[in-house]
Structure 1
């Protein structure tokens, strides 16, 4: 990502269709918030704009899971990565692009970061995303009760994992 991508993130993260599943419709982003969350933070996440057919359509980030998070999720060892993503251009929803995105990132993490597992924690109610992730080979591990604050309510999430073949 670079500074030119700020306006894309503002556009996507102020769209109520996107926010219904990512961040919440009560949590729209403006330029200041995008800068604070995506550019001015010092987290160990690799943040990328997703392009499809040379058009920017979404966002993905990946990060190595720290020891405390591993323990909280029930993992005792391994090189485990987490990913988060969204397609911000909604006309690309339900076209297989999300499946291509997720499977490509998982392959990258196995090849280049030597990941043993890749995990995510989507909300239980996000059925379209869960179908996508299952098509990519993710398996449901366990429910994480009241795991994510979304639109003023703590929501249950699934811990899902993809294990290297």
Structure 2
């Protein structure tokens, strides 16, 4: 399945699509207020420590993933090797949910980053988001511990090479 996925750098031209996805109930449930999230995501386009991608399968855009330098944010995740990256993501297209795409594209994306020298990738899903936790586990992440974030309690998950 991994060969199906393409990760295209997000540009301002993608913002209307991202805005539509953020407003969808299944995204809003975990990402929160769409207007607030849109402001953050669009503002991060100018952030050098943040890489943002639109995820496509067989030529159709269906999701978003951001990958950031963990040291650029006060994440509360504790000590990690220099160069550790954090990820956050969502599947925007409802028809792509619950079909195995989440764990498959996470694995493909993270495998690329680890091959390119990242020493570790971390993520912090809401522990109540069982679908996300399961997708990360299926992509090779391990549960580490609960952490406090600006958005509330989260489950720190780690993937090493």
Is the TM-score greater than 0.5? yes
So what's the TM-score if we normalise by structure 2?
A: 0.83
2:140 to 132, 137, 142: 137
Change (3 A) 1:63 1:4: same
Tell whether 2:130 aligns with 1:127: yes
Query: Any idea what the Cα deviations from partners look like across 1:88-108, whole Å, max 9, x if unmatched?
Result: 001100111111110011111
Deviating 4+ runs (over 6 angstroms):
none
User: 1:80 deviation in Å?
Assistant: 0.9
Structure number, greater radius of gyration? 1
1:57 pairs with 2:51: no
Matches within 5 A, 1:1-165: 1-22=10-31, 24=32, 27-29=33-35, 33=39, 36-39=42-45, 41-66=46-71, 69=74, 72-75=76-79, 77-112=81-116, 114-145=117-148, 147-149=149-151, 155-164=152-161
SS at 1:20's partner residue?
helix
Rate the CA distance shift 1:68–1:99 in 2: closer, same or farther, 3 A.
closer
How big is the shift at 1:38? 4.2
The farther-off stretch of 76-85 and 131-140 is 76-85
Query: Cα offset for 1:5?
Result: 0.8
User: 8 Å contact 2:67–2:87 — kept in the other structure?
Assistant: yes
Show structure 1 runs of 5+ residues with no match. Answer: 150-154
For structure 2, the residue ranges without an aligned partner over 5 or more in a row are 1-9
Equivalences, count? 151
Report the CA distance shift for 1:76/1:98 in structure 2 as closer, same or farther (over 3 A).
Answer: closer
How far 1:6 sits from its partner (Å)? 1.4
Higher helix share: 2
